[in-house]
Structure formats: C-alpha cells, structure tokens
Amino acid sequence: MTDDDRLIDRVPQPPDVPSRLAAQIAFIVEVDRLKTVLRRSVLVADDRRENDAEHSWHLALMVTVLAEYADEPIDVGRTLKLVLLHDLVEIYAGDTFLYDEEGAATQEAREREAADRLFALLPDDQCAGFRALWDEFEERRTPEARFAKAMDRLQPLLLNYNNKGGTWRTPGVTDADVRRRKSVIGDASADLWSYARTLIAEGTRREWLPAADA
C-alpha cells in the first residue's frame, strides 16, 4: 500500500483547508477502515463477527462502568483514550487471533510498522501523542494501561460465555489455555479476575469450553 491508498485521496478534497486541519481530517477518514477489520468473536446481539471499531467502543463503555474495580486508581479519561485507539494499528496489520501462535510471532513488528504509518497522517505533535498512548497500552506499565488491557481480555470472554462457547470452540483450546491468556485481567483487578475465572469455570462445567484434564 502506498500513500495514494489513503481513503481521503479517493475524492478531491475542498480547497483552502488549513494544513493542520486537513491532516487531522485525513486521519479521521482513514480510521473508518477499522470498521472493516473483523475479529473472531461473534456478537451476542446478532449472528455475525464483531469488528474492531465496535469492539473498541464496547471496551470504552466497559471502562466507564467498571472503573471502580481497578485495584489502583485510574484516570478514566486516559484509559478511555487507550482503549479507543489500541486496535488502530490493525487497520494495516490485521487482527491477530489470541490463540494464533504463528501470527503472534510477527505481530509486534507488523503492528509497529502500522503504527508508524498510520499515526504519521496526523500533525507531528498528535502523532507523538497517539504513539505514546499506543506504546503505553502495549507496555502495560501504568494502572490505566493494565486496566485497558483487562477490558480487552474480559470483553470477548463475555461474548463467548453468552454465546455458549463462541471462539472457545476453536480446536485445541482448553480451559487452561483460556485461563492463562486471560490472567492479565488479574494485573488490573482482583474482583474482575475472580469474575472472569467464574465465567471460565462455569463455561467449562456447562461444556461450552473443553476442560484440559477431560
């Protein structure tokens, strides 16, 4: 893909727009692509796969409702920004399924390249700001980033449980795998990790998720 593939370049833009605003608009139009990046998870409300934009919105709403369960105080506004932009790199790098070991090997490099390219559409100061927020989310060194990551792991668990399995039914996946991949929830909130383990245990008991020792 070259710079000519920006969505904004498909139609002539109006003349005399200040260059800073024009760059911001180019970014805002470009991120429309996030609505076309499909995840593996299936909605509860409909029988189709979720896309990254819907997923990001859902995480933001979860932050608003569940912030009180954070073990360390969090700045809700910054946590919202972290979840709103955390998947943007998938516009160019694609979604990597949580249980895809092969994709995981190249994921970091692909996503860094995508971040470089996407955030460069913005004016320099905002490019740096978005990149810093994305790095913060990835590195999980702040309470906000840990809580954002916990939401990112809890949300598909809610979809799977309420779909009586969903992606839990991926061949080879067991309750032990799910527990291991979801354990980062416990880095942000003991209460929500306890709830997540309850969902996994109850889903296993109901045979929506195979038990490792079965």
Window 96-135: contact mask with a copy of itself (x via CB under 8 A): --------------------------x---x---------
Residue 121 burial by Cβ neighbours in a 10 Å radius (0-12, 13-18, 19+): buried
Binding a copy of itself (rule: CB under 8 A), the pick from 70, 118, 148, 159 is 159
Nearer to a copy of itself, 50 or 152 (CB): 50
CB 168 within 8 A of CB 204: no
CB of 105 to a copy of itself, least distance (A): 28
Check if the beta carbon of residue 184 is closer than 8 Å to that of residue 145.
no
Q: How far apart (Å, rounded) are the C-alpha atoms in residues 1 and 16?
A: 27
Residues linked to residue 173 through DSSP beta bridges, in sequence order:
none
Instruction: Please work out the total of residues on this chain that contact a copy of itself, with binding judged by CB under 8 A.
Output: 61
Both structure tokens of 159:
């979809």
| Sign of the four-CA dihedral 39, 40, 41, 47 | positive
Contact between 148 and 55 under an 8 Å Cβ cutoff? The reply is: no
Amino acid at 107: Q
- The verdict on 11 binding a copy of itself (CB under 8 A) reads yes
Residue of the chain from 40, 54, 96, 187 that contacts a copy of itself (CB under 8 A):
54
Q: Does 4 bind a copy of itself (CB under 8 A)?
A: no
Residue 213 makes contact with a copy of itself by CB under 8 A: no
Q: Per the structure block, which two tokens stand in for 66?
A: 């569940």
Residues that bind a copy of itself (CB under 8 A): 7-8, 10-12, 14-17, 21, 24-25, 27-29, 31-36, 43-46, 50-51, 53-54, 56-58, 60-62, 64-66, 69, 75-78, 80-81, 84-85, 122, 126, 158-159, 161-162, 164, 191, 195, 198-199, 201-202, 206
